[in-house]
Amino acid sequence: MFVMPPSSPTQALFDRTLPGLWPDAPAALSASTFSDLCDVLGIAHGRHIEWSMQLSRQRVGAGCSLYQTGEPFRQFYVVRSGFMKSITTDPSGNERVVGFSLRGGLLGLDGLAYGRHMASAVALADAELIVLPLATLHAAGRNYPDFASSVYSAMSIELARTLAATGRLGLTTRSRIARLLLDMADRFAALGYSPSRFNLPMSRSDIASYLGMAKATVSRSLLELETLGLIRQDQRSIQILDRQGLRRLKRMPRLIDDTFAK
């Protein structure tokens, strides 16, 4: 059974009776195994490791939260299927999307430093995550160094994406869109899917929030990339026609990006 989305965003913030939305509510859980976790993390020989410790899977319905900003940190989560987004909220209540997670993505790093989550994790589509308690991570790391290395690598990737976001400030909107499309292409390719044809799991509004631009600007920038012959788009469906062109564009600062368009 998946956690169903609340009737309104306001209800999502205050309704603690929704299963899976708050840690003290009934959770939609099922059993998982260490070999399953290794498979999700891409550890090729992990399925041959015999370890009796049982893990849990958390299921979250589209539009529902896995955890909210300010909640106590309890464990990490590894995305097994579906798509997640991370959201921060400023003192004025304004939300901003700060990341997207696909299969193999690690969630919960924001809560490790201070013992409370600094962001909320929300399902973009029905998602299933493997729960990874910190104590389990330590125990597995002592017994299986390759496992620990894979988890630390996943942590590093999440941190690298966060740092890369700071480099978007000096880029044009088209360059930022190009970076996002190339990043999604690489992530889908790593999962065994086509890097040139894929569906974006997030809405235009989520993209706008993540890249720091208006929703209309996202649509206009995608249309400009299509006009340049770099992509073909149909709603959320994207086909990359000129990968090298996107790579050149993603590195161009504001002053010379318009020259490229000509």
| Distant-in-sequence, close-in-space partners of 152: CB < 8 Å, separation ≥ 6 | none
Check whether 14 has a pLDDT greater than 50: no
What residue spans of 118-214 are helical by DSSP H?
134-143, 145-165, 173-190, 204-211
Q: Terminus-to-terminus CA distance in the chain, angstroms?
A: 53
Q: What is the pLDDT of residue 50?
A: 62
Enumerate domains of the chain plus CATH numbers: 9-165 (2.60.120.10), 169-261 (1.10.10.10)
- pLDDT-based confidence at residue 226 (cuts at 50, 70, 90): very high
Q: What percent of the chain has pLDDT over 90?
A: 57
CA gap 35, 37 in Å, rounded: 5
Q: What is the pLDDT of residue 26?
A: 31
* 16 vs 181, more confident: 181
| Distant-in-sequence, close-in-space partners of 200: CB < 8 Å, separation ≥ 6 | 184, 207, 236, 237, 238
Q: What is the pLDDT of residue 46?
A: 56
When the pLDDT of each residue in the chain is averaged and rounded to a whole number, the result is: 83
Q: Which residues is 99 bridged to in the sheet?
A: 86
Mean pLDDT to the nearest integer, 106-118: 94
pLDDT per position as a tens digit, 156-213:
888 888 777 776 777 889 999 999 999 999 999 999 999 999 999 999 999 999 999 9
Check whether 107 has a pLDDT greater than 70: yes
Of 37-41, 47-51, 121-125, 247-251, where does the model show the most confidence? 121-125
Check whether 47 has a pLDDT greater than 70: no
- pLDDT-based confidence at residue 42 (cuts at 50, 70, 90): confident
